[in-house]
Chain A
Amino acid sequence: MVSSSTSQEYSASRLGRFRSSRLIWPVLSLAALVLLWEVAALVAAYAGKARTFPGPSEVTATMVREFRSGALQMHVLATLGRVAISFPIAMFLGSAIGIALGRMKGVDRFFDSWLIFFLNLPALVVIILCYVWLGLTETAAIMAVAINKIPNVAVTVREGARSLSRDLAEMAEVYNFGFWKTLRHVTLPQLAPFLIAAARGGLAIVWKIVLVVELLGRSNGVGYQLGIGFQLFDVAMILAYAIAFIIVVQLIEIGILQPLETRLNRWRR
């Protein structure tokens, strides 16, 4: 306990320390990871494996080179575009299916086994089938990603729909809320935690599936570049593109999803 300072000063200094410690720890741990990587790369170089195990400095240099040529932005944007289209489609359809299953017992009983089937269907199978049936098109690519994600969203949202409050539904009925008012002020706020959970998990999965889709049947995007890196055994390029996209996804998480969650949770005690 800091007995000499007033409680206000005490809490202020604690807050300051909390803020800086929140920044210091990830920075320190990332620095440690980079250091470990550099040491491992030096060892690999000593063993004559420099090309297949490049260090952080070489990967950074590759990233800067790709950025200067404009290729990095072009491919990252292509991948981001596919994520931006398939992710909302998967969220919307998955949520609609989840709500329907959660609210209607008979429908749920019937379609439950379908859901289990699609949940366990490997992503790769869906991607191959979409390309075989629809050709190597953008539509097939987007569809493959959405189909892979929809069952996960549906299962998460179904859980939320099952636990909707009957008390509040009756209140909305007595006070003549009507369909849209009920959806906006009664139903969706109850589903918000489930939707956020589905969005979080969704974003993490969707972009990884997009890479596979691009690897197999597109001629741009991060996945396509990774395929080329694989053919050339150019590990520096593979890591440069992977890390660039991890950074982009983290920015979306911190810049969009986390503020959204904070906003949606501000009513909580």
Chain B
Amino acid sequence: MEEMSDRLRIRVARKEFPAVGVQGANLVIEDLDVSIEPRSFVVLTGPSGCGKSTLLNIVAGLDTDFEGAIDLGNWVRRKTFVFQTPRLLPWRTVYDNIALSLPEGDPRLANIAGLIERVGLTDKVNAYPERLSLGMQRRVALVRGFVQEPDLLLMDEPFVSLDDPTAQELRQLLIDLWHRVRTTVLFVTHDRTEAVMLATRILRLGGRAATRLDDFDVGLTRQQRRDSEAVRLEQTRIFGAS
């Protein structure tokens, strides 16, 4: 028996997708072993298709077909997932989409209105998702991820395919929410600027099959994260002047 620890430990010795038709088996993750401390904001970065999203699915428990073990420590009781697409129920209103993620009669239902106001969607509370812009749908997905007050929040490129100002606004919103709720975040992106802006720690994945290449601590204060020059300098320090 392994001792329960206060660290979230992700060990994936081997993860491959079986062969489909003419395409052979595809090894996506190998020899990955990462421990994550509570309350940290960890960004997983690396080239597209290197297995980051697969890793997130494994941690979420959606993909159980791998060699290794996910030890959620003694503190991860609730985990939520903000997906690459908003994945809202188009036939339920903004409010219902968020409320459905909580059990009936849950006291946290009372926090929904405040969070919706926080992301600026108060007048859309009874709207159906397809009548909202993509940016607004992503806000709803963000609120759904936060309203549970999860111990672990998984995010898979949640701001991809948004125009730059909108994405930037949502990143600020995320930093804000994270400072309030103080959850642990595991965030996947291939955008290095985004990684530096958000993370307290960056894990760079890569290789033929994804494994940990680098591990950096990001030393930016909350104020510096709003300063594009400070973010750029830190990015250069971590990733080099590419």
Contacts and interface: CB of A to CB of B under 8 A. Distances in A.
Given A173-B62, A181-B100, A267-B91, A167 B131 contact: no
A218 B215 CA distance: 81
A176 B128 CA distance: 22
Interface string B49-82: 0000000000011100000000000000001110
Given A174-B81, A268-B130, A185 B89 contact: yes
B168 interface: no
Interface string B119-147: 00000000010110000000000001000
Interface in A194-231: none
Contact of B101 (A175, A264, A266, A267): A175
A168 B147 CA distance: 19
A167 B85 contact: yes
A10 to B, nearest CB: 25
A22 interface: no
Please report whether the interface of chain B is mostly helix, strand, loop or mixed according to DSSP.
loop
B160 to A, nearest CB: 15
Contacts of A173: 61-62
Please report whether the interface of chain A is mostly helix, strand, loop or mixed according to DSSP.
helix
B92 interface: yes
B83 interface: yes
Interface string A146-166: 000000000000000000000
Nearest to A190: B91
B92 A185 contact: yes
Contacts of A186: 89
Interface string A235-269: 00000000000000000000000000000101111
A262 to B, nearest CB: 13
Contacts of A266: 128
Interface residues of A, number: 19
Contacts of B87: 167-168, 170-171
Interface residues of B, number: 21
Given A167-B85, A185-B92, A174 B100 contact: no
A189 interface: yes
A189 B87 CA distance: 14
B195 to A, nearest CB: 23
Nearest to B78: A176
A135 B100 CA distance: 50
A168 B100 CA distance: 13
Nearest to B128: A267
27 contacts: A167-B83, A167-B87, A168-B87, A168-B89, A170-B87, A173-B61, A173-B62, A174-B60, A174-B61, A174-B62, A174-B79, A174-B80, A174-B81, A175-B81, A175-B100, A175-B148, A181-B100, A185-B89, A185-B100, A189-B89, A189-B91, A192-B91, A266-B128, A267-B90, A267-B128, A267-B130, A268-B130
Which 10 pairs between the two chains have the least Cβ-Cβ distance? Answer: A267-B128, A175-B101, A189-B91, A171-B87, A174-B81, A267-B91, A269-B130, A167-B87, A170-B62, A174-B60
